[in-house]
Chains A and B, each alone.
Chain A
Amino acid sequence: MGGTEADWIRQAMQGDDDAFTLLVESYQRPVYNLCYRMLGDPQEAEDAAQESFWRAYQALRRYDPQRSFLTWLLSIAAHHCIDLQRRRRLPLVSMDVLPEEVIPDSIPSPEKVVAVQLENEQVRSLLDGLPAQDRAAIILRYWYDVPDEEIGHMLGMTVSAVKSRLFRTRKALAKSWLDSGHPLPFPEKEEHGTPAL
């Protein structure tokens, strides 16, 4: 099936399920990553991402084509994950449980697998203690480079609320990093730009 993203969206809005599946194919990675960072568990992230796409499918008629489709999808996924986190109100995940990381089309070396797992463990330990909305705001900001205004729109907050929430969360993250006994100063790694996209 050919066409651009805009064509797929239009066709999906007219009821074409194959076109919507193409959109799922295109956006599965950012949506899954958001769910994974929010929930910290691969299976829960898979379920949440599938549910988010189903909700998007049902709400497709309400999608405003003037808005970015990805932002709209992430907004649905973020709300769903915040709801899930609020409902369970339990510690997010045991630090002993390491996710099954999938790196498609390649067989990773054991060193790489360990490095990825360590990296994920570090990220999870940083995010674990954050309240659901703070976590969503920080993920949207640092994985997806979503501006404050858009985060506010996505999470139903004012821009000043987003700014103060992000400020408070950054401070908490800095403290969490220091308390966890990680080495200082942390060498600046090469940034991916917008790593989740």
Chain B
Amino acid sequence: MEHQPFETWILEDTPLSAAQERELHSHLAGCAACQELRSGWQSARATLRSAAPADPQPGFARRFQSGLAERKARQQLQVRRTVLGLSAGALLVGALIVAAFLLRTSPAGILAGLLGTALALLTTITTLQGILRTWLNVLPPSLLLAVWIPLSTGFAILIAGWVFSLWRVSTQGATNS
């Protein structure tokens, strides 16, 4: 026996038209399988629909609150550990590089290298000072002011932001707020 579209009509939640209802009833009168399907589904649906919602144990929100505090504390600790771990790693790598450098070069060579670098640095600074002095003499004072104020303000903001982020991560960790 053909059970379609009756099976669909039985199992769909959409309401049937009067004609479809009549057709379904006449089919059900002669089809035990569809009758069973209909009874089974209606009973199952009624069971689902009528089941009272399960309630959590009292104090659910309080438990959430204390769990939240614990999780946040754990998260902060983790962030601090990560920051410390990364810093320690960077220091270790730096120390290893310095150690490797010291092992491969003689103290006299290092001293000579350092003196050479310092001398080169001083020469560069002196040259830059000369260039800067020449520019300062050439440019009008108002233009100099217009350049220096935004530059120094921008630097100050960047440094303040950097210090604030370091302080926030190290004291508060990563929070949702």
Binding site for B on A (CB under 8 A): 14-15, 17, 20-21, 24-25, 28-30, 32-33, 36-37, 42, 45-46, 49-50, 53-54, 57-58, 60-61, 99-104, 116, 119-120, 122-123, 126, 138, 142-143, 167, 170-171, 173-178, 182, 184-192, 195-197
Contact = CB atoms under 8 A, between A and B. Distances in A.
B54 A45 contact: yes
A54 B41 contact: no
Nearest to B38: A174
B55 A104 contact: yes
B61 A170 contact: no
Nearest to B7: A171
Given A29-B56, A195-B51, A195-B53, A188 B46 contact: yes
B77 to A, nearest CB: 17
Q: Which of B11, B47, B63 has the most CB of A within 10 A?
A: B47
Does more than half of chain A's interface fall in helix, strand or loop, or is it mixed?
helix
21 contacts: A17-B68, A24-B65, A28-B56, A28-B60, A33-B53, A45-B54, A101-B54, A104-B55, A119-B51, A119-B52, A122-B47, A123-B48, A126-B47, A170-B44, A174-B11, A176-B44, A177-B40, A184-B43, A186-B47, A187-B46, A196-B53
Contact of A50 (B42, B45, B64): B64
A102 B71 contact: no
B61 A142 contact: no
B8 interface: yes
B55 A101 contact: yes
Contact of A142 (B43, B48, B58, B64): B48
Contacts of A14: 177
Nearest to B57: A102
